[in-house]
Structure 1
């Protein structure tokens, strides 16, 4: 009798256990995970892809529906940005939203937490006259002493000694550089997209093929309206990989010397470029500060000069001039 009762007890327990287990599982599904915290790597999906290394989004403590959202290495040019946003519960999940704007860009953030993961879409819209398509201005000169095709060159120099040499250099460089470029390319086109990406391409003189530089190495950009600067940006890993690929063709140039021209900004190397825009024409140019950073490359630059032209003394004067601006002119399409 006791054996029979024990068997029935085990049978009842066996029937009840799955039910308890099922209830426990259901209870786990109903657990709402606190959305506050840091999301990165596998726990962060940003714009449809797993977040890159170094990218983080932090959702701060909620006050009513208000919350601070910290973006690290998400917005180009702003490695760490704290936004004011909202956090609202949606069943077992939370939705987070924010908008932010300044004189250079607008940002929209929309995301959802599911368990301990955050799926978010971050949209950046650049606010600048640069947005659009720009073509290198090449002029065909048919009269005067210097005829032919010349690219539009901006060149301003103030040498240490001034005088005749400064005047001669000021006249010579735009003609020499403008013709050298026009003899090599049919066209150069730069497209600045509103989302901060670019397309940079060129056609060789007499050629039909368009070579798209940004298909090999993606280049993004951001602007600073206060300083009238454009920053071209490339991921650090892409620059390191490119320099490694070009190591043999760099003829012994130290890659570190090339990178000193660039400025680190979060996960990117950037090149600051001055911009002046008048109507539908713009000059993109570098100044003395960029030339100073390139000092480790001065000997390399002089080594590229055609020896028969004896240009090294002039280049020495140019590279050491207290005031120096050099760039290209583009027309907006």
Structure 2
């Protein structure tokens, strides 16, 4: 299988290496009698080398010299963290070739994949229009506002829709690489996962910080502060809208547009965030913590943690995030 891996200056070192390491491991541990072809990866750049975000030099094949149409295009993340930095990289004339290549291959029906900030390149190229996708959770509001044609679900670690597959933050590159292997051999993917001790992380929700998400919009920032100040006894949302100087409908619409969730869903995320903080930093009982975050019955909090985080209060207290 011929894979073209796009590399631009400032590429995220771990993202690039994770993709290469997982695919390389798959080639190394191929099962006896495995019929799926090995993975041949060509790192493609604007010229013959790129510099990673940490200053390492990586040899690349110039895009114009790519000898064949690849079976798959992968776009690792850049090392940039803020929306302005990510957008500057995506719109840089020096990276126009990456957008052109992504758009051309996607239009021709070539499967494409990206992780973390690399998803912005596919979205900018139009390769994700009208498809479901995910990205780094902290860039969700910015992504949603810039690419309204993309159906964003940043709660997921991996989303596959049509010929496009996107992965979430940073080390979700591993999930993307395993998806590539699994498309051709589920048995080989399981073997690679065992060799590399790769676990299952179906959701980014446990790592999303409500305060950071809300900072994408002044109204949501004010709403987040309003919620936190009234966690123990939250009044109706109509009161929040009134104090923020907007209609309840405007509050609903803004939350959906910026955060991809209803105001009530966001309130639950803030409650879970605070409950997790209290579990890990205090000796308060689960019952006392439930009361502090606005639940009269600890069972309600337990059910919410199980549904939203896929884990338990005890696991959160111990610092874990996986179900037990």
Same fold (TM over 0.5): no
Kindly name which structure, 1 or 2, has the bigger radius of gyration based on alpha carbons.
1
Q: TM-score, normalised by structure 2?
A: 0.22
Q: TM-score, normalised by structure 1?
A: 0.22
Larger % of helix: which? 2
Larger % of strand: which? 1
